[in-house]
Amino acid sequence: MSNLNQQPGSQHWAMQGERGSFWLMKFTAALLRLLGRRLLSPLLYAIVIYFFLFGRKARHSIAEYQRNLAAWSGRAELLPSRRSVFRQFMAFADSLLDKLDVWHGKLPLAEIRLLDPTDLRSQLHQGGRGQLLVCGHLGNLEVSRALAELGEQVRMNVLVHTKHAAQFNRLLGEAGASHLQLIQVSELDPGIMLQLSERLERGEWLAIAGDRVPLQGGRNVTVDFLGRPAAFPQGPWLLAGLLRCPVNLLSCLKIDGRYQLQLEPFAASVHWSRPERDAVIRQWVQRYAERLGQHCLSAPTQWFNFYPFWKCNERDEQNVGTPGKRSTGV
């Protein structure tokens, strides 16, 4: 919940937000053991309502996302209102409760609808070289990550920017997640690349977010997302090219009260010569941004980036709740 209240010009989200995420996870895990989900739910919803009421920047950021999605798709019903912004906050609270269920074994794979038209799931068990999964902060990442635990029993390595990876791993172990490992990657240095290559050779899979720019100084590229320029990380596509591994997309959206996990092939290979590297990576990032936008339309209130994603000028909050007002910054 930490990135709900970040101010422009403050610490990068990976320095500030993930610290709060660690303490939130520790806090909620303790409360769950003490109270159980039934008693914890009202408290968690109250916390999210507090952030909705006092998190002005977070409200603006969600309203901006909804406005851009409506303009890009031509669907006026997606334009932001106070009610629609509040629904997105509450969807976030609901996802937090579901995360707790995942790590305590109360959301088995049988209750998750798997969409895998090319049978990528079978490749998890073939014993060959691992692959790269790119996911985003749309839907419930924990359900996606739990694919490694819920019946698949494959080693999944999640690449993160948080400095608290060791503490997160300890908490995940306490929750029973034995096949999930968080690996902190601020820079793609030779040591990290060698470690990741060895994991792929052992048949392990790598997962990385494709919609969060790395720590300041990291590589990113600006592409069109929902009709406006936004920064996306180059990391997933640099990794795919350097490690010479296929790239698949992983998403998990809650549709009609049931999670729908989708695996889809995206790039059989990413390769370039040095002079064309930047152009090739930009093309792949743009393709990913377009696919992410399409997924946003499937679950519009499940976008959980609560900070100024487009880094545009702040809008007056009176625009939130003004029907028919479209974004002019296309």
Q: What per-residue confidence (pLDDT) applies to 154?
A: 67
The amino acid at residue 254 is K
Tell whether 80 is covered by a domain.
Answer: yes
Rounded to 5 degrees, what are φ and ψ at 72?
Answer: -65, -40
Distance from C-alpha of 227 to C-alpha of 114, rounded to nearest angstrom: 30
pLDDT in tens, 31-44: 766 777 778 788 88
What distances in angstroms separate CA 116 from CA 40, 89, 134, 240, one per listed residue?
Answer: 34, 29, 15, 21
Q: What per-residue confidence (pLDDT) applies to 188?
A: 66
Tell whether 326 is covered by a domain.
Answer: no
Q: What is the CATH number of the domain that holds 32?
A: 3.40.1130
Go through 205-240 and write b for each residue having 16 or more CB atoms within 10 A of its CB, e for each that does not.
Answer: bbbbbbbbbbeeebebbebebbbbebbbbbbbbbbb
Cβ pair 155, 206 in contact under 8 A: no
Task: Let me know how many helices (H) and strands (E) the chain has, helices first.
Answer: 9, 9
Q: What's the average model confidence in pLDDT over 72-99? A: 93
Distance from C-alpha of 60 to C-alpha of 229, rounded to nearest angstrom: 17
Rounded to 5 degrees, what are φ and ψ at 76?
Answer: -60, -25
Tell whether 97 is covered by a domain.
Answer: yes
Q: How many domains does the chain have?
A: 1
Lowest mean per-residue pLDDT among 38-42, 181-185, 280-284, 296-300: 181-185
Distance from C-alpha of 100 to C-alpha of 278, rounded to nearest angstrom: 40
Distance from C-alpha of 323 to C-alpha of 328, rounded to nearest angstrom: 15
Q: What per-residue confidence (pLDDT) applies to 318?
A: 40
Residue 7 reports pLDDT greater than 50: no
Distance from C-alpha of 241 to C-alpha of 264, rounded to nearest angstrom: 19
Q: Is the dihedral of CA 64, 65, 69, 75 positive or negative?
A: negative
Q: What per-residue confidence (pLDDT) applies to 9?
A: 42
* Residues 102, 108, 112, 117, Cα dihedral to 10°: 110
| Chain Cα centroid distance, residue 181 | 16
Tell whether 327 is covered by a domain.
Answer: no
Full 3-state SS string of 33-47 = HHHCHHHHHHHHHHH
183: left (phi over 0), alpha (psi -120 to 50) or beta: beta
Cβ pair 172, 26 in contact under 8 A: no
Q: Which residue has the higher pLDDT, 315 or 89?
A: 89
pLDDT in tens, 261-273: 899 999 999 998 8
pLDDT in tens, 124-150: 766 678 889 999 889 987 776 666 655
Percent residues over pLDDT 90 in the chain: 38
Tell whether 310 is covered by a domain.
Answer: yes
Q: What per-residue confidence (pLDDT) applies to 203?
A: 85
**In sequence order, what are the residues at sequence separation of 6 or more whose Cβ sits closer than 8 angstroms to the Cβ of residue 64?**
308, 309, 310, 312, 315, 327
Q: What is the extent of the structural domain holding 259?
A: 2-319
Q: How confident is the model at residue 109 (pLDDT cuts 50, 70, 90)?
A: low
Q: What per-residue confidence (pLDDT) applies to 149?
A: 56
Tell whether 63 is covered by a domain.
Answer: yes
Tell whether 216 is covered by a domain.
Answer: yes
pTM of the model: 0.81
Structure tokens given for 208: 């990385």
pLDDT, the chain, mean: 78
Tell whether 330 is covered by a domain.
Answer: no
Go through 293-314 and write b for each residue having 16 or more CB atoms within 10 A of its CB, e for each that does not.
Answer: bebbeebbbbbbbbbbbbeeee
In the Cβ-directed half-sphere of 118, how many Cα atoms lie within 13 Å? 11
